[in-house]
Amino acid sequence: MKSHSSIGRRVPRVDGLQLVTGGALYTADVALPRMLHGRILRSPHAHARVLCVDAERAKRVRGVMAVITGKDTAGRLFGIFPDERAVAVDRVRYIGEAVAAVAALDDDIAEEALSLISVEYEPLPAVFDPSEAMRLGAPLVHEGLAPIHIKEGGESKLASNVSFVNEFHVGDVERAFAEADHVREDTFTTSAQCHCALEPHGAVADFDAGGKLTLWSSTQGPFLLARDLAFTLDMSPSDIRIIKPRVGGAFGGKREMMASDFCAALLSRRAHRPVKIIYTREEEFMATRARHPMTLQVKTGVRRDGTLVAQEMTIIADGGAYSSRGPVILKYAGGQLGSLYRVPNIKFAGYHVYTNNPVSGSFRGFGMLQARFAIESQMDLLAEDLGIDPAEIRLKNAVRAGEVTSGGRRVTSCGLSECIEKVVEASGWRDRRVNLPPNHGLGIACNDYVSSGARSQGFIDSSAAYVRLQDDGTVVLFVGAADIGQGSDTTLCQIAAEELGVPVASIRIVSADTELAPRDMGTYASRITFVAGNAVKLAAADARRQLFQVAADCLEARPEDLEARDGRVFVKGSPDRGLSFQEAAVYVMKERGVHVQGRGGFAAKVEDGDAVLSVPPPYSFGAQVAEVEVDTETGQVKVRRFVAAHDCGFAINPMGLEGQVEGSVVCGMGHALVENRLLDEGRVLNPSLLDYKIPTSLEAPYVAASAIETKDPEGPFGAKGVSEGAQVPVAPAIANAIYDAIGVRINDLPITPEKILKALHRSPKD
């Protein structure tokens, strides 16, 4: 078996030099001639009718070039579950909702103009707790939303403000519980975690004289953003070009069209000048998206030997004022039942509830993180009840390659057992759990994760790529995929280089520009390596085929007898009978007049039949062990070490994989220990990085990350996604380690010092 030249190697990022020298261009760096500065006026009310918006005084301010209100828009509801307007027209439903916007010569003038816009509101009753919102008679966040029947405690009742219900039932759950040797029920709650990307949301819009819009945006999905803008601006998608500069962090928070995108565009059309809008940090907290707070009830039945026989979960998710992607997130949370461990009988009921809180939406982990926190925490509780080692109960029930889960997922490759065994060995699990110093503990948790998103806004998950050969032997790779900091540009360049047999340095990538690159669905669901990577591999193979077809004449050989490797094109078995890649390119283009342009497209296969979730394989798997130290005097938790092993199929870039795992661990630590958006009747109380705490480099533990390679048959060179899934097991691993250290179980995230001290006082360790 031949070794690889460009993949499976620790390759520095192709944009690394730009990033570390400050040469990378972000949206905030875009500066166009005659550019104006935009600001957005936001609602001070959690729920109110908008009776009148008077912007006449603002329009008269010297330097104000355009003002828009909801009446100036088409008023269209957008989103995959359309219930939100880009600018409020007749009602606001959360504090921070956009009501008007201005464009002026500078920020100070724009801010002055905002203060002169008079809005007459009629405050309406509001509701902030999802359980309260579900009660009949609660204020309706969306007028006209009828009550629906839900199940509670085996009985049916009517509930209000439920925007989406997901229910499924596989097997005979009731009978399995009745026949189980042991059954336990637990309730878990998770907090609203904010993305806290260093780069805030922003957009620069420019309408040209012909009415074509070019928008630079910090987006995760340029093509879907173009579609939303076309719909809300009542334009043809062909008249919109989206360019994604470098993105300074996104984590799901930049997946949707924001008011910054829409308002910058509409103001530019009104002013006939470019307009830039960059959010403040306060706007990031109050007017973007956050991880869904959830209440999760989990019931699991087992045999005495630890075999899982039944599992039931009920989730209430606080969606905030609008749906965003919440209903899909809820479905993915429910899909965690029976996905990681063999559970023949499963039952799920999930309720996505409207409240007058800020909107919840996509965040790395996409609902699986909350569900896995509950399930993995309870796995440890079950292990303790039965007197079984927590790692052993997971190994006993772990899914394996070739199986179809009870939820209908086809497992094409699976290294879950190997991941568990790896972290158990690398952490010294069996010896150290009994020999650690006092108040130190180890905790284990596992995860699976998709490598594709099935569909997005009606489109099957797909991607395409073009490969163009230059006459100097270099290659230009065109992809629609969006690198938002995870290093996907580098991965795709490695795949193209491997297929063409050239160094990575010979590949130049043009990505995430809707006018230059082919369509891609965006960055989500850890899909880029699998979906876009397959497209790039096919495009590079097509270019190589075209090159061989012509170069064969020069080498007096058949095309099928040629090979490309290490920057050369040569006859197989006779490396001396060949040309450098550059010589081959010159011959093909200059001597034969052939322009080599390879094309490739790939679409994920949507699962049919009785699958709980219509999600195509492959799935990645992982296991992590956390080591913590708890100060029982202060309640402070120090995460000392993380050992992680993740089944990536094949590690295209091991260095990039390690970086993704390290970042995921730190972000997961934040969710586990400190991060919580605090609200008072819908108003964010900690809208800054001074008050909203996140882990820093000072708190980051040592992370020992390993790749488990299973070579998925459907992935490019066997690869599948990892990055998002690596955050999923972090919180339960920490929670389980805290219990191991001090003997108290905290089921409510974040696990703060106050909660630990309260639990210790209530139930001190023997």
Nearest to 202 by CA among 252, 250, 271, 239: 250
Which residue from 188, 149, 108 is spatially nearest to 370, judged by alpha carbons?
188
- 455/486 Cα distance (integer angstroms): 22
Neighbours of 627 (CB within 10 A): 25
pLDDT tens figures, 82-95: 999 999 999 999 99
How confident is the model over 477-503, as pLDDT tens digits?
Answer: 999 999 999 999 999 999 999 999 999
Stretch 328-357: mean pLDDT: 97
Q: Fill in the amino acid letter for 549.
A: Q
| Greatest CA separation for the chain | 84
Mean pLDDT of the chain: 95
Using the predicted structure, report yes or no on whether residue 4 has a pLDDT greater than 50.
yes
Q: Are 618 and 413 in contact (CB under 8 A)?
A: yes
From the list 402, 452, 446, 385, the residue with the least C-alpha distance to 619 is: 452
Q: Which range is least confidently modeled, 78-82, 260-264, 376-380?
A: 78-82
Nearest to 321 by CA among 296, 355, 279, 370: 355
Residue 611 confidence (pLDDT): 57
β-sheet bridge partners, residue 215:
205, 242
Give the strands of the sheet with 36-42, arranged side by side: 64-69, 98-104, 36-42, 275-278, 202-207, 213-217, 240-243
pLDDT band of 3, cuts 50, 70, 90: confident
- Distance, in Å, from the CA atom of 588 to the CA atom of 585, rounded to the nearest integer, reads 5
Cα(462)–Cα(456) distance, rounded to whole angstroms? 10
CB-hemisphere CA count at 13 Å for 618? 30
The phi and psi torsions of 509 (rounded to 5 degrees) equal: -110, 135
What is the identity of the amino acid at 320?
G
Residue 683 pairs in a beta bridge with 680
Position 615 scores a pLDDT of 66
The torsion angle over the Cα atoms of residues 550, 556, 562 and 567, rounded to 10 degrees, is -80
pLDDT digits (tens, 9 = 90+) for 323-340: 999 999 999 999 999 999
What percentage of the chain has pLDDT greater than the value 70? Answer: 97
Q: What is the pLDDT of residues 539-594, one digit of tens each?
A: 999 999 999 999 999 999 999 999 999 999 999 999 899 999 999 999 998 889 99
Q: Report all structural domains of the chain as residue ranges with CATH numbers, in order of start.
A: 16-23+462-603 (3.30.365.10), 31-124+198-250+254-287 (3.90.1170.50), 126-194+289-397 (3.30.365.10), 411-443+615-766 (3.30.365.10)
Task: Give every CB contact of residue 437 below 8 A, 6+ residues apart in sequence.
Answer: 629
Residues 6+ apart with CB under 8 A from 123: 45, 47, 48
pLDDT at 151: 80
Backbone angles phi, psi at 668, to 5 degrees: -65, -35
pLDDT (0 to 100) of residue 2: 59
Half-sphere exposure of 484 (CA within 13 A, CB side): 29
Give the pLDDT score at 604.
86
What is the rounded CA–CA span in Å between residue 342 and residue 394? 10
Judged against a pLDDT cut of 50, whether residue 765 lies above it is answered with no
Q: What was the pLDDT predicted at 612? A: 59
Kindly tell me if the per-residue pLDDT of 688 is higher than 80: yes
Q: What does the pLDDT average to over 374-390?
A: 98
Q: Look up residue 248 and give its amino acid.
A: G
Q: Which of 12, 514, 524 is nearest to 244 (CA)?
A: 514
Q: What is the pLDDT of residue 764?
A: 47
Residue 90 exposure: Cα atoms within 13 Å on the Cβ side: 6
What share of residues in the chain are helix, strand, coil (percent, to 5)?
30, 30, 40
| Cβ–Cβ under 8 Å, residues 540 and 598 | yes
Tell me whether residue 551 is exposed, middle or buried, using C-beta atoms within 10 angstroms of its C-beta: 0 to 12, 13 to 18, 19 or more: buried
Distance separating alpha carbons of residues 143 and 542, to the nearest angstrom: 54
Write out the E strands in 235-382. Answer: 240-243, 275-278, 294-302, 308-320, 345-354
- Measured distance CA(415)–CA(620) in Å, rounded: 8
Average pLDDT over residues 448-460: 80
Residue with tokens 């900091």: 485
Q: Percentage of residues in the chain with pLDDT exceeding 90? A: 92
What pLDDT shows up at residue 605?
Answer: 79
Say which residue, 270 or 765, is predicted with more confidence: 270
592: left (phi over 0), alpha (psi -120 to 50) or beta: alpha
CA distance 110 to 181: 67
Instruction: Identify the pLDDT of residue 280.
Output: 98
Q: Give the residue among 598, 559, 620 at the shortest CA–CA distance from 416.
A: 620
Q: Which pLDDT does position 452 carry in this prediction?
A: 86
Print the SS3 string covering 122-174.
EECCCCCCHHHHCCCCCCCCCCCCCCEEEEECCEEEEECCEEEEEEEEECCHH
Query: Any idea how long the chain is?
Result: 766
**∠720-663-746 over CA atoms, to 5°?**
105
pLDDT in tens, 38-74: 999 999 999 999 999 999 999 999 999 999 999 999 9
Instruction: State the angle between helix axes of 368-386 and 390-397 in degrees (0 to 180), rounded to the nearest 10.
Output: 110
pLDDT at 754: 97
Cα separation, 603 vs 620, in Å, equals 18
387-410: average pLDDT? 95
Q: Are strands 98-104 and 162-170 parallel, antiparallel or unpaired?
A: unpaired
pLDDT, mean of residues 668-675: 98
**Residues contacting 346, CB < 8 A, separation 6+:** 168, 169, 170, 171, 173, 310, 311, 312, 337, 338, 406, 407
